[in-house]
Amino acid sequence: MTSPSNSERIEEEGSYIMGEQFHPLEDSPESSGQGFPGSGSQQMKDPLSIVLCGEAGLGIQTIEYLLTKLLKIEGYHVFATKEYMSRIRGGSNSSEIRVSSRRVAAYVDRIDLFIPLDKDAVPHLRKRISGRTMILGDKEKILTDLPVINIPFSQIALEIGNIVFSNIVAVGVIAGLFQIELATLNQLLQQHFSAKSEEIIRKNLEAARRGYDIGRELNRSGQVGINIPKSREVKDDIFLNGSEAVALGAIAGGCNFISSYPMSPSTGVLTFLAQQSKEFGIVVEQAEDEISAINMGLGAWYAGARAMVSTSGGGFSLMTEAVSLAGMIESPMVIHLAQRPGPATGLPTRTEQADLQLALYAGHGEFPRIIFAPGTLQDAFYLTQRAFNLSDKYQVPVFVLTDQFLVDSFYNIPPFDLSDLDVQRYIKETDENYRRYRLAENGISERGIPGFGKGLVAVDSDEHDEEGHITEDLQLRSQMVDKRLKKLGSIRKEAISPTLVGREDYRSLVVGWGSTFHVIQEALEGLGRDDVSLLHFKQVYPLPSHAVEFFRRAEKTIVIENNATGQFARLLKLELGIDIQEKVLQYNGLPFSVEELSRTLEKRLAER
C-alpha cells in the first residue's frame, strides 16, 4: 500500500495529508537547473545542517555524540536527531546535526554538508540533496554521479588498522572545518575512549588527526567555508536528549522505583535511571514483561515508594489491565509512554503521535487520569516532575506521552530552575479508625501505607467499601464510582493552560501538541506573518475549560498532528466542543520538517 501524495486531500474532513515525498527546494538541480558545487567554493549558511549516513554498525551514533558535544563545548547552539532502521547491522541510518549561532530544535529537510559513509547513503537521502549540498565522501565507495569532494575515509581507516576508524576520521574532518583546536578534540576522544586500551586510544587520535588535517585544508582553501558566530550563552547550557530530560524530571519528582521491560524508543529512561540509581537511591527492576513491570510499580506505590514505568505502545498494551487496577484501588502511577508507529510492531524505530487515544481510553471501566505531552526538553523535565506530585495527590495514573523524535533528539538548553520544585507527599499516618476509601467530599480519600500508623490499609481490585473490603452493595457501588470521578473536576482546575506564541490579535491559529512545538514555531517564523499565532498544548487531558476562548478568537484554525486521524482534533471536539476542519496530518514515520510544513501552512493560510 502506497502512502498518499502531498497533494491528496480528504475533502469531507478538510485534512491535508503529508506523505513521504520530499519536494526539492528551489535551489535543487531538479528545480533550478543549477549544477552541484563539486570542488568550487561554498559558504555554509547559519543554521548549518550536517547529515551523516551509513549502515548500522559504522558508528553513526558515535559520530553524532562526539560532534554534538564538541560543537557545544566550542560555543555553538546544536540540535541533533536521528533516523534509523530496526536492525543491528545494515540498512541506512542517518543523523542530522544543526549548528547555529542561535537556538535550534527542529528537523529540516535541507542538507548543507553531507557525509555518506557507504554506497547506499546517497540513494537513501537523494530527495534531500539540493544544488547547495556539499558532499564529502569516498568517491570509490559511495558510487554516485553527483560531484563529491573526495575524502578517502576507508583508506585512511585501513591504514590506521581497521575500517571502523572511518567514523573518527569523519569527526576529525568536521572539527577541522570548524577550525576547532585539535587539543580540544583530542581531550574529548581520550575521555570518550578512556575505558579502551592505550593502542585503541592512540589509533582513534591518529584517525581524528588525519581527518582534522583534511578539514582544515578544505576550510583554508575556501572549498568549504564555515563562519558561524559562537554564542556566549551556550557555555552554561546543559546538553541532553528527551529520555534524559524525562528521567531527570522523575528524579526531581522523587522517583525511587522504576520497573520496565526494554522497548524502543522508551528504554533510554530506564537505562539513565539505572545509571543514576546508586546516587539517588532508586530501585531499578528490568521485569520479565510489561505486565509484571506495572504491577511491581503499583506494589511500590502501595508500600510508599514513588514509582514509574517506561514503555512504548506495544508494551503499554499489556499494561492496560493494571492501569484499570490503579483506577480501582486509587493508586498513583506514573507512566512514560514513548510513541512509535503501529499497529503491532509497526515501524519500531520511527516516530508518530498515534497513541493519544490509547492513553486516554486504556483500562476498562471509568476512572480519571492525567495526560501530559511535552513539546520541549524543558517540558519533559518539569511535566515529569509534576506528574509524580499530581499522581500522589489525586491517586490516579498520570501519563507522560512522548515520541521517538522527542526522546532521541539532543539540543542545548539553559539549566533547569530547581528553586520552586519540591516533592509533595500525601501519605497519612493512620489511626485505628482509618478507612482507605472514605467517601470524601472532594473524592480524595486519605492514603495510608502499611506500617505507617495503627490502621489497616486494605485494597481490593473488586469494588469495595470504605475500609477496602469487597462489596456488592449496588448503592455503595454508585457512590464509589462517583467518588472516584469527582477528582476530575479538581484535576481540571489545575490543568496547564496552552502556550500562545505570537500576537493575541491573530486571525489564524495553528494548533499543536507534544513534540511538534519547535517545528511549528520555526515554520511560522519563516512565514513572517503577524496575523498567525501558535497555540501549543502540553497537557492534553483533561483540557482546561478556558482554552475554548483561544479558538473563538480565530477566523481559521489548523491543527498539526503526526497521525492519520487527527486524534487531538477529536479530543478538542470531545472536551471543548471545538469542531476542527483544518488538519495537517503526517504518518510516514518521520517528524514534520520545517520546509514542508512551511509550504503547507503557507498554502492553507492563503485559502479562504
pLDDT at residue 587 above 90?
A: yes
> Lowest mean pLDDT: which of 81-95, 343-357, 487-501, 555-569?
81-95
608 CB-contact burial (10 Å; exposed 0-12 / middle 13-18 / buried 19+): exposed
Each residue's pLDDT tens digit, 283-326: 999 999 999 999 999 999 999 999 999 999 999 999 999 999 99
Domain check: are 229 and 244 in the same one? no
What's the pLDDT score for residue 18?
56
Domain check: are 98 and 222 in the same one? yes
Range 115-144 average pLDDT: 92
pLDDT at residue 31 above 60?
A: no
The CATH number that applies at residue 244 is: 3.40.50.970
The CATH number that applies at residue 588 is: 3.40.50.920
- Which amino acid, residue 147? P
> The whole model's pTM is what?
0.93
Domain check: are 438 and 520 in the same one? no
pLDDT at residue 95 above 70?
A: yes
- If one counts every other C-beta atom within 10 angstroms of the C-beta of residue 284, the result is 17
Domain check: are 451 and 561 in the same one? no
Residue 40 in any domain: the answer is: yes
Query: Per the structure block, which three cell numbers stand in for 171?
Result: 569527526
Domain check: are 351 and 205 in the same one? no
d(CA 322, CA 397): 10
What's the pLDDT score for residue 406?
98
d(CA 515, CA 509): 18
Range 118-138 average pLDDT: 94
What's the pLDDT score for residue 42?
65
Sequence-separated (6 or more) residues with CB below 8 Å from residue 211: 151, 153, 156, 168, 169, 170, 171, 172, 173, 175, 176
Residue 421 in any domain: the answer is: no
What's the pLDDT score for residue 181?
96
262 CB-contact burial (10 Å; exposed 0-12 / middle 13-18 / buried 19+): middle
Given a contact cutoff of 8 angstroms between Cβ atoms, the answer to whether 77 and 234 are in contact is yes
Given a contact cutoff of 8 angstroms between Cβ atoms, the answer to whether 365 and 327 are in contact is yes
Residue 202 in any domain: the answer is: yes
Q: Which of 413, 437, 466 is the last residue of a domain?
A: 413
What's the pLDDT score for residue 41?
58
* Average pLDDT over the chain, rounded to an integer: 92
d(CA 319, CA 335): 10
Residue 457 in any domain: the answer is: yes
Q: Which of 493, 522, 550 is the last residue of a domain?
A: 493
Q: Which of 447, 465, 493 is the last residue of a domain?
A: 493
Instruction: Please give the residue that has the higher pLDDT: either 56 or 224.
Output: 224
Residue 28 in any domain: the answer is: no
Range 450-458 average pLDDT: 97
pLDDT category, 84, cuts 50, 70, 90?
Answer: confident
Residue 7 in any domain: the answer is: no
Given a contact cutoff of 8 angstroms between Cβ atoms, the answer to whether 155 and 169 are in contact is no
Residue 11 in any domain: the answer is: no
Query: Per the structure block, which three cell numbers stand in for 111?
Result: 542538507
Domain check: are 279 and 253 in the same one? yes
The CATH number that applies at residue 215 is: 3.40.920.10
Domain check: are 342 and 381 in the same one? yes
Three-state SS string across 249-277, please? HHHHCCCCEEEECCCCCCHHHHHHHHHCH
Domain check: are 487 and 505 in the same one? no
What's the pLDDT score for residue 545?
95
What's the pLDDT score for residue 1?
36
What's the pLDDT score for residue 505?
96
Pairing of strands 134-137, 149-150: parallel
Range 25-44 average pLDDT: 44
Domain check: are 475 and 512 in the same one? no
- CA-nearest of 448, 105, 421, 80 to 250 is 421
Domain check: are 190 and 321 in the same one? no
Each residue's pLDDT tens digit, 383-426: 999 999 999 999 999 999 999 999 999 999 999 999 999 999 99
Domain check: are 183 and 257 in the same one? no
Domain check: are 467 and 595 in the same one? no
Structural domains of the chain, count:
4
Range 513-524 average pLDDT: 98
Residue 559 in any domain: the answer is: yes
Domain that holds residue 289: 239-413
Q: What percent of the chain has pLDDT over 70?
A: 93
CA 149 vs CA 12, 230, 267, 547: distances in Å: 50, 27, 39, 54
Sequence-separated (6 or more) residues with CB below 8 Å from residue 114: 50, 51, 52, 53, 125, 129, 133, 134, 135, 136, 137
